[in-house]
Chains A and B, each alone.
Chain A
């Protein structure tokens, strides 16, 4: 093992010249569902071109935080968010923010693949069309193809683009949903347990895809699988009982966490 001093120097060398850029950040974020407070004063930075994993036991607030990042919580009447959530320095909860546009910039992939009951082609084309991102069929064809390619799905579906999206396997449907999110050129992609409904091979494909997507996008993933968090993310944040307990380099969180609650969770002592 390298001595800490050398490690720090090597790390500093690697980072010099390309300082990590903050893509999104939460400042003192609290969330209430009616009377009940679900999240307490969370401060968290999400860095550009990195995968940040949010982990913690059920009900810890990790999904609640994820949903703050593109205002999915707006759909819940009793939900109230305080504090600041910034995307490239702009407050996304500012009343002047167009939520539809925000959700194009911060896309989302859900736990269960949810393709539209339309053709594979239409699933991808829908977003760019309503956001007015493309002109003409040729351009749309290109967007559909590159999106499917980036999601690693094109070769599997190129002969049946007009077939129904729901006719694909679970893993393919999930990659279709990722392609759909990519089609509107988001800056950040949020993933809420994207592999929990998939078999190990489909899961491995999604994980490989996440690693590739990191080059062009910033990704925030909620996962119940600690091994998955350890495999795909560079940064990890551990939530417990609505509190952000510990955040940092993924490797550090899983080999030598500082807080005892983190340690108890990652070693399987509390669920």
Chain B
């Protein structure tokens, strides 16, 4: 919006909310990247760093919430301002959750670093993390630029994340069948993959929020769902049902 408010301090507050929000987005991007890197390099030290940095993410969310409540109470924002403040609140909650998932990846990495690597799974997870990281930075750009098309585009890309997750699920199942000693690390890997998959879902929510921010309406079509692991089975039952 090129035209400023008559009350200039209102503009300042909205600007402040947006810059805090970007700071939080940037920090969460780093968390995802470092968590994936720590897993791939089996670097327990970097994993610890990710875990301790989560407090910073949480603190930013609190600051954003306080500012948003203040703007709602003092300015009674309307129209696009209202949508911007409500979106900031909702998206900061998404970012906070994404931060938690990154932290959980790091936690499990600390355990995984102590057991031998499982196939190429860490690389697959790194690829998946790279993808969600790109999606996150794209959706934050779309947010700032109020770019509806870019947001919708990212919303559709979540399917790729789901597909990698499905493939990894199958892959780890075979490792576990081959060698029961790999069950513990494989379970951790599966949870890690699930965390990254959930990150993708939160990015999809952010993309939907950007759609609302720009147009005033939530996207009408069903969100893409590619995660089929809930229906996957193995062994005799699976063969019977033909899964």
Q: Which residues of A contact B (CB under 8 A)?
A: 1, 3-5, 226-227, 230, 252, 254-257, 262-264, 266-271
Please name 6 pairs of A and B residues whose Cβ atoms are closer than 8 Å in the assembled complex, sorted by A.
A1-B218, A4-B218, A254-B79, A263-B80, A268-B81, A271-B6
Collect the chain A residues with CB atoms within 8 Å of residue B10's CB. 268
CB pair A255–B216 under 8 Å, yes or no, is yes
CB pair A3–B218 under 8 Å, yes or no, is yes
Number of interface residues of B (CB under 8 A): 22
Closest CB of chain B to A209's CB: distance in Å?
Answer: 22
Q: Which residue of B lies closest to A5 (CB)?
A: B220
CB pair B3–A269 under 8 Å, yes or no, is yes
Collect the chain B residues with CB atoms within 8 Å of residue A257's CB. 79
CB pair A226–B220 under 8 Å, yes or no, is no
A188 to B237, CA, bound (A): 72
- Flag B195-224 by CB within 8 Å of A: 1 or 0 each: 000000000000000001001111010000
A75 to B220, CA, bound (A): 52
CB pair B218–A226 under 8 Å, yes or no, is no
- Flag B34-78 by CB within 8 Å of A: 1 or 0 each: 000000000000000000000000000000000000000001111
Interface centre among B80, B82, B218 (most CB of A within 10 A): B80
A54 to B77, CA, bound (A): 19
Closest CB of chain A to B211's CB: distance in Å?
Answer: 11
Q: Which residue of A lies closest to B77 (CB)?
A: A267
- In the complex, which residues 1-31 of chain B have their Cβ closer than 8 Å to any Cβ of chain A? 1, 3-7, 10
Collect the chain A residues with CB atoms within 8 Å of residue B130's CB. none
Q: Which residue of B lies closest to A226 (CB)?
A: B78
Is B83 positioned at the interface, with any CB of A under 8 Å from its CB?
yes
Closest CB of chain A to B191's CB: distance in Å?
Answer: 31
Collect the chain B residues with CB atoms within 8 Å of residue A262's CB. 79
A267 to B217, CA, bound (A): 18
- What 19 new A-B contacts, CB under 8 Å, besides A256-B83, A269-B3? A1-B218, A3-B220, A4-B217, A4-B220, A254-B79, A255-B82, A255-B83, A255-B216, A257-B79, A262-B79, A263-B80, A267-B79, A267-B80, A268-B7, A268-B10, A268-B81, A269-B1, A269-B5, A269-B6
CB pair A256–B217 under 8 Å, yes or no, is yes
Assess A256 versus B215: contact at CB under 8 Å? Given A266-B78, A267-B79, A268-B10.
yes
Closest CB of chain B to A190's CB: distance in Å?
Answer: 25
Q: Which residue of B lies closest to A227 (CB)?
A: B76
Collect the chain A residues with CB atoms within 8 Å of residue B4's CB. 269
Q: Which residue of B lies closest to A256 (CB)?
A: B216
- Give the 8 A-B residue pairs with the shortest CB-CB distance, closest first: A256-B216, A266-B78, A267-B81, A1-B218, A269-B3, A263-B79, A266-B79, A268-B5
Q: Which residue of B lies closest to A257 (CB)?
A: B79
Q: Which residue of A lies closest to B14 (CB)?
A: A267
A47 to B79, CA, bound (A): 24
Collect the chain B residues with CB atoms within 8 Å of residue A255's CB. 78-79, 82-83, 216
Q: Which residue of A lies closest to B84 (CB)?
A: A267
A113 to B215, CA, bound (A): 42
Collect the chain A residues with CB atoms within 8 Å of residue B217's CB. 4, 256
CB pair B212–A267 under 8 Å, yes or no, is no
Assess A254 versus B5: contact at CB under 8 Å? Given A1-B212, A5-B220, A227-B76.
no
CB pair B216–A264 under 8 Å, yes or no, is no
Q: Which residue of A lies closest to B10 (CB)?
A: A268
Collect the chain A residues with CB atoms within 8 Å of residue B6's CB. 268-271
